Amino acid sequence: MTERNRPGQGSRVLRFGGRALGILAGAALVAVLAVLGTVAWITSVALPHHQHEADAETRRLGEAAAAAGRQDLARLVADGRLTDDEITYSVGRTWDITRADASWAIVAEIDYNLCIRYDVSLPLGPASTVTMTRLASCPSLSGTYRPYPTVTPSG
């Protein structure tokens, strides 16, 4: 008998090949499960955590923009007048105003989905005060998307 035709030689090769194939299939299954586990972790833990951090930063930036708008309005009313361009410069392009005898109420949708009402006391001048109140939601604002002033208001 030649070495090639020895009894059991083919079955040993088949057994070895079957084991190798089984090990490869098991390794592939482990790799697929690892990838699926990683994807599940990213979508259930990492992304929501990142979104929470991004939302907190968005709120912080919106509140800072609202406070800066109040300071700008207070500075700009000191000269005794307040123009539409000055309001747009201070609070952004989406706002509406209600003028009453004792005060003006400016409702503005600040960037970052934040709605603020600024109350400006009358008469306009150095003694005027500007307060701000956060609103739960913005009413329909008729003065949406005003163009930004081409010149920075001085005040």
pLDDT at residue 127 is higher than 70: yes
Q: What is the span of the domain harbouring residue 72?
A: 9-147
pLDDT in tens, 18-55: 788 888 888 888 888 888 877 777 777 666 767 778 78
Considering the domain boundaries, does residue 23 fall inside one? yes
Helix/strand/coil for 6: coil
152 — pLDDT class (breaks 50, 70, 90): low
Number of domains in the chain: 1
Residue 3 lies in a domain: no
| Chain centroid to CA 38 | 25
pLDDT at 2 over 60: no
Sorted by sequence, the CB contacts under 8 Å of residue 61 that are 6+ apart come out as 111, 112
Does the structure show a pLDDT above 80 at 97? yes
Is residue 108 very low, low, confident or very high in pLDDT (cuts 50, 70, 90)?
Answer: very high
Classify residue 142: in a domain, yes or no: yes
- Contact indicator for 88, 148 with CB cutoff of 8 Å: yes
pLDDT in tens, 56-80: 888 888 899 999 999 999 999 999 9
Residue 134 has pLDDT above 80, yes or no: yes
Q: Is residue 155 part of a domain?
A: no
Kindly give the pairing relationship between strand 103-110 and strand 95-99.
antiparallel
24 is a domain residue: yes
| Distance (Å, whole) CA 73 – CA 50 | 35
The answer to whether residue 1 is domain-embedded is no
Dihedral (C-alpha) 80, 81, 87, 90: value to the nearest 10 degrees?
-30
